[in-house]
Amino acid sequence: MNTYKIFGINGPVVTVKGQTSFEMMEMVYVGEDNLVGEIIGITDDSTTIQVYEETTGLRPGDPVTGTGSPMNVLLGPGILDNIFDGIERPLKAIEEQSGAFISRGAKVTSLDDQKLYDVTLKVRPGDKVKGGEIYATLPETKIIEHRLMVPPLISGEIVEAAPDGQYRLFDVVARLKDDSGEIHDLTLCQKWPIRTSRPIAERLSTSVPLITGQRVIDTMFPIAKGGAAAIPGGFGTGKTMTQHQLAKWCDADIIVYVGCGERGNEMSQVLEEFSELIDPKSGRPMTDRTVLIANTSNMPVAAREASIYTGITLAEYYRDMGYDVAIMADSTSRWAEALREISGRLEEMPAEEGFPAYLPSRLAEFYERAGRVSTLSGSNGSVTIIGAVSPQGSDFSEPVTQNTKRFTRCFWALDKALAYARHYPAINWIDSYSEFFNDIDPWFSKNLGDDFVEYRTRISALLQEESNLMEIVKLIGADVLPDDQKLVIEIARVIRVGFLQQNAFHADDTFVPLEKQKNMMRVILHLYDKSREIVAKEIPISKIIALGLFDKLTKMKYDIPNSKPEMFDDYIKEIDKKIKKLM
Amino acid sequence: MIIDYVGVKEINGSLVVIDGVKGVSNEEIVELRLDNGTRRQGRVVQIEGERIVVQVFEGTRNISLVNTRTRLTGHPMEQPLSPEIIGRVLDGAGRPIDGLGDIFPEKKMNVNGTPINPVSRIYPTNYINTGISTIDTLMTLIRGQKLPIFSGSGMKHNDLAVQIVRQARISGATEDNFCVVFAAMGVQKDVAEYFRKSFEDSGVLSHVVMLLNLSSDPIIERTLTPRCALTIAEYLAFEHDMHVLVIMTDMTSYAEALREFSSSKGEIPGRKGYPGYLYSDLASLYERAGMIRGSEGSVTQIPILTMPNDDITHPIPDLTGYITEGQITLDRNLQGQGFYPPVSVLPSLSRLMKDGIGEGFTRADHQALANQLFASYAKVIDARSLASVIGEEELSPIDKKYIEFGRLFENRFVNQGFYENRDITESLDLGWELLSTLPRGELDRVDDELLDKFYRG
């Protein structure tokens, strides 16, 4: 292997003097402890390396050894129900090795290579296989079948296949001869460089929504499977809380949760909650379908930069098996800051706010890896990206938020004022948007009836109208408004408090099926229509309010269990009866 | 073989450049001896072959190109540690200044620490009773949390911190296993003295480790002060099973010291001239709070920072808020009206609160009550802004009720004596009493069962 000597050290950036044979983005080992690093700059008289671990104690003259391949991750069974750092080192194994504090240069394999899996072979000698084709399957967890695929860039004829049975990670279960006659061993794992997206057969349209059970998202600003969404919000507005809710309840098969430069206590909370939480569909702990990547804010900044790519590569791997994968990145701003920090160390010319000029292209590259695709093996899979953004000073005009907006089609703007009033999820219904309506409305109409889309349109019109009226109310008070406008304000309050606001800690309210969401809208709009008839007859609105119906609807999210949709008809009857008495 | 490197190549602010140095390691501590006999310490911050950049803690005054001899010590910055450190007074770099002699070290640890493995953390759920209504009820402090006080110059953050130390009751903590690490960064002598005296008056002084970097002390030393303090805290918590409360004041001075250091090093500035790595740097301090498996102890942090110009979007409070688990925000307007502690309720928050309160910890109704108080008080603010346009007289009857509720809330709930220690039941009951002045229909965050039990309107 090619080995050189360290010349200079500046924070996480190390330089080597003279001409080297390193490749750009090659992974290297730095120093006596073999710290992991990556080549990020080459000139004819020096090479620049970013180091993924603390550089304290490195000396000029220490060795830098090349590995000959770019920064890659090991893909195979054992990824699920595991927690890794930013460069796919399992944190539990590191804990066993070095205790509660992470020491440097930990020598651990990414995946457990001693565990035996029950492998079922899908190929026989003589079979022609292409890259991406499935050659064996094994149960990775109780609910997820792991499908082993021929590495995307290899194809040929199977010349040897082991019988079904128990194998370890690096055991060879089949051999493949490619067109040039070279033999490739197929084990239970493969490697893939994290900065390269995995190949696909073709991109499909994003026509199926990702159901999250969160009313404000599913109904008002839905996201499609294979789409990308941004959740921007200042601190304390509930970004992390929203991400947790989505990770727990969305109907993806696999969840990749990337804690990128966030709090350590938060990660331990995720670990604890997810292992206690039972997935309603499978009855198994949530961790069976989840992989966590934790690179907390005090862990090395270069690994933080890599964690996003590690996460998306794992997501793509499961997508290629034909699963719907959702990746939560919390927070992409920390990742952008890592870029800025490293760029600063390299003394690159800064663009806006000190961020490097290539920030937009990096963001675009990342979000472009979302999508619903037809895989190389012919099945359908998707990667949905939900990225949190932490704007500096809660100012949405800063570069990360603005650039993210350009590459995501769903924007869930979190609002400080709502968070202060403890209105959660604090997604502002005026500033947020979703561009997926055209793609997925046919799905809603087909599965829930045409009225779902119609109800949504009416609800958002009412909210918009309320927002306009509030401008007036702020100046002159609500008393002077005519009754029909007062009615809009009243019904909008029911929508805000009774519908948009959702209690993550309430057993029934934490996840609400689409059918109930639709029924809630139906009842609210029914009350609005009936009340309008009354107001048109010049009966004062105070009489309608006195009926207590508005308060009752505000609480129906708690009063009507998810399992009893028939109760909504009772509500409709009650409204009709009480309103009739007024006439 | 010990080599003295004679002279320096360049002097710039607190940095000196030395050429021809062999065998140096990154972040190594060096000792500089001036011809006039004074000794200084420095840290290697950048290496380029044999040319090294050293940051001199005590500053570069009197250093010339020729009058200095530099010696490598062979190790990074280390803090000598021993259980006897409790009760001592140290300078900003962790050296004793109380005249009681050196610390006889049981062990030495690198002040930069190493990150806690997220899987080794215990998720904190044990609440700390501070005896202050607003904090206990609405932004409960949890053992192992980092909860900063966002304040401004001239506000009563010091009093609040002292009151928390005096009244804090940590479950599981006794006289013997509770201690305070107090780190002063760039504060005035009399502020440090105020803390010392307050600790003495409340009888905790013998349980306090004080690190003092006063405003006249070298600025570079200031960047070490919180690191030394947290190294001591981690040592006491995780090796001696103590519950450690770390108070760091003032984080703004710390960040400014960092900015000064960064600009003298010629780094590319980020927002408002602060270095691009301010977030990572602050995180390397704040993340050193928590609890780990295999140890009984805990590190709880209460950093205090004064927001420049009371601006919560300034980079220092902004980045801090993104790292810490909530914040206690103080408000000048409330202080102006004579309320103590002037806690501004709405922008304050404790992220760990939800799992540390309720049945078995405080009381079953706690979360619902807190949500309702927040929601109702947010309406008070709306009503007030309306009143400022159309006058209080013109408000609707319900808005008038809210104005009245707001008045009571600030006078009775927020406002509390400096020596008044309210227990949690008292605070919760007071919350219900105030909510009972509002019509029952307005309390939409509480279910009927709780209302039947606690609503008395």
Residue in A78, A80, A163, A165 with CA at minimum distance from that of residue A118: A165
Which chain B residue shows the shortest CA-CA distance from A262? Answer: B323
Q: What is the pLDDT of residue B116?
A: 93
Residue A99 forms contact with B (CB below 8 Å): yes
CATH number of the domain residue B195 falls in: 3.40.50.12240
Q: Which of B26, B311, B377, B394 best probes binding to A when mutated, by most A CB atoms within 10 angstroms?
A: B26
The verdict on residue B360 lying in a domain is: no
Contact A58, A20 (CB under 8 A): no
Residue predicted with more confidence, A83 or B174: A83
For residues A370-375, give the mean pLDDT: 96
Q: Quick one: what percent of chain A has pLDDT higher than 90?
A: 68
Contacts (Cβ under 8 Å, ≥6 apart) of A374: A200, A201, A202, A203, A204, A380
Residue in A327, A267, A325 with CA at minimum distance from that of residue A295: A267
Contacts (Cβ under 8 Å, ≥6 apart) of A461: none
Q: What is the pLDDT of residue A1?
A: 61
The verdict on residue B395 lying in a domain is: yes
Separation in Å, CA B279 to CA A6, A52, A337: 28, 17, 8
- Residues B338 and B375 occupy one common structural domain: no
- Residues B236 and B303 occupy one common structural domain: yes
- Residues B296 and B411 occupy one common structural domain: no
- Residues B101 and B218 occupy one common structural domain: yes
Q: What is the pLDDT of residue A56?
A: 87
Which residues in chain B have their CB less than 8 angstroms from residue A98's CB?
117
Q: What is the pLDDT of residue B439?
A: 92
Residue B341 DSSP class: S
Question: Which secondary structure element, helix H or strand E, spans residue B238, and what is its range?
Answer: helix B225-240
- Residues B297 and B225 occupy one common structural domain: yes
Who among A298, A392, A479 is closest to B287 (CB)?
A: A298
Question: How does pLDDT run across B111-149, given as a tens digit for each residue?
Answer: 988 899 999 999 998 889 999 999 999 999 999 999 999
Amino acid at A570: D
- Residue in this structure with the two tokens 């190109």, named with its chain if needed: B65
Cα of B181 vs its chain's centroid, Å? 11
The verdict on residue B340 lying in a domain is: yes
Buried b (16+ CB within 10 A) or exposed e, B32-64: beeeeeeebbbbbbbbbbebbbbbbbbebeebe
Buried b (16+ CB within 10 A) or exposed e, B399-422: bebbbebbeebbeebbbbeeeeeb
- Residues B53 and B118 occupy one common structural domain: no
Signed CA dihedral, B153, B157, B158, B159: sign only:
positive
Contact A263 B325 (CB under 8 A): yes
- Residues B343 and B401 occupy one common structural domain: no
Q: What is the pLDDT of residue A136?
A: 95
Contact A43, A18 (CB under 8 A): no
In tens digits, what is the pLDDT along chain B, a chain of 457 residues? 678 889 899 998 888 999 999 889 998 999 999 999 899 989 998 999 899 999 898 888 888 999 999 999 988 889 999 999 999 999 998 999 989 999 999 999 999 888 999 999 999 988 899 999 999 999 999 999 999 999 999 999 999 999 998 898 877 667 778 899 999 999 999 999 999 999 999 888 899 999 999 998 888 889 999 999 999 999 999 999 999 999 999 999 999 999 988 888 888 888 888 988 899 899 999 999 999 999 999 999 999 999 999 999 999 999 999 899 999 999 999 999 999 999 999 999 999 998 889 888 889 999 999 999 999 999 999 899 989 888 888 888 999 999 999 999 999 999 999 999 999 999 999 999 999 999 988 888 888 889 999 998 7
The verdict on residue B361 lying in a domain is: no
The verdict on residue B351 lying in a domain is: yes
Domain boundary among B42, B76, B110: B76
Contacts A–B by Cβ distance under 8 A: 225
Length of chain A as a residue count: 583
Buried b (16+ CB within 10 A) or exposed e, B273-291: ebbbbbbbbbbbbbbbbbb
For residues A209-221, give the mean pLDDT: 95
Question: How does pLDDT run across A279-296, given as a tens digit for each residue?
Answer: 777 788 888 999 999 999
If you write DSSP's letter for every residue of A151-206 in order, what string do you get? -TT--EEEEEEPPSEEE-TT---EEEEETTS-EEEE-S-EEEETTSPPP-SEEE--
Q: What is the pLDDT of residue B174?
A: 75
CATH number of the domain residue B27 falls in: 2.40.10.170
Q: Which of A265, A277, A473, A496 best probes binding to B when mutated, by most B CB atoms within 10 angstroms?
A: A265
Domain boundary among B18, B47, B76: B76
Contact B115 A476 (CB under 8 A): no
Q: For residues A330 and A292, what is the distance between their CA atoms, to the nearest angstrom?
A: 11
Say what the pTM is. Answer: 0.91
Residue A115 has pLDDT above 70, yes or no: yes
Q: What is the pLDDT of residue B1?
A: 63
- Residues B431 and B314 occupy one common structural domain: no
- Residues B99 and B222 occupy one common structural domain: yes
The verdict on residue B124 lying in a domain is: yes
Q: Mean pLDDT over all residues of chain A?
A: 91
Question: How does pLDDT run across A431-467, given as a tens digit for each residue?
Answer: 999 999 999 999 999 999 999 999 999 999 999 999 9
Which residues in chain B have their CB less than 8 angstroms from residue A31's CB?
none
For residues A20-28, give the mean pLDDT: 88
Residue A68 has pLDDT above 90, yes or no: no
Residue A140 DSSP class: S
Q: Quick one: what percent of chain A has pLDDT higher than 70?
A: 100
- Residues B341 and B410 occupy one common structural domain: no
- Residues B327 and B292 occupy one common structural domain: yes
Question: Chain A closest CA to B438's CA: distance in Å?
Answer: 15
Question: Chain B closest CA to A354's CA: distance in Å?
Answer: 5
Contacts (Cβ under 8 Å, ≥6 apart) of B429: none
Residue A185 has pLDDT above 90, yes or no: yes
The verdict on residue B304 lying in a domain is: yes
Domain coverage including residue B37: 4-76
- Residue in this structure with the two tokens 């995180």, named with its chain if needed: B283
Residue B257, φ and ψ in degrees, nearest 5? -60, -40
Residue A455, φ and ψ in degrees, nearest 5? -60, -45
Count up the domains in chain B and report the number: 3
Domain boundary among B30, B55, B76: B76
Buried b (16+ CB within 10 A) or exposed e, B3-14: eebebbeeeebb
Who among B117, B268, B389 is closest to A91 (CB)?
A: B117
Which residues in chain B have their CB less than 8 angstroms from residue A95's CB?
117, 119-120
| Residue B295, number of CB atoms within 10 A of its CB | 17
Who among A58, A341, A505 is closest to B277 (CB)?
A: A341
Q: For residues A485 and A487, what is the distance between their CA atoms, to the nearest angstrom?
A: 5
Which residues in chain B have their CB less than 8 angstroms from residue A272's CB?
123
- Residues B269 and B166 occupy one common structural domain: yes
What chain A holds in terms of domains, given with CATH numbers, is 3-70 (2.40.30.20), 117-188 (2.40.50.100), 202-207+225-421 (3.40.50.300), 449-582 (1.10.1140.10)
Question: How does pLDDT run across A237-287, given as a tens digit for each residue?
Answer: 888 889 989 998 999 999 999 999 889 888 888 888 888 888 777 788 888
Contact B209, B85 (CB under 8 A): yes
Q: Which of B18, B29, B114 best probes binding to A when mutated, by most A CB atoms within 10 angstroms?
A: B114
For residues A200-227, give the mean pLDDT: 95
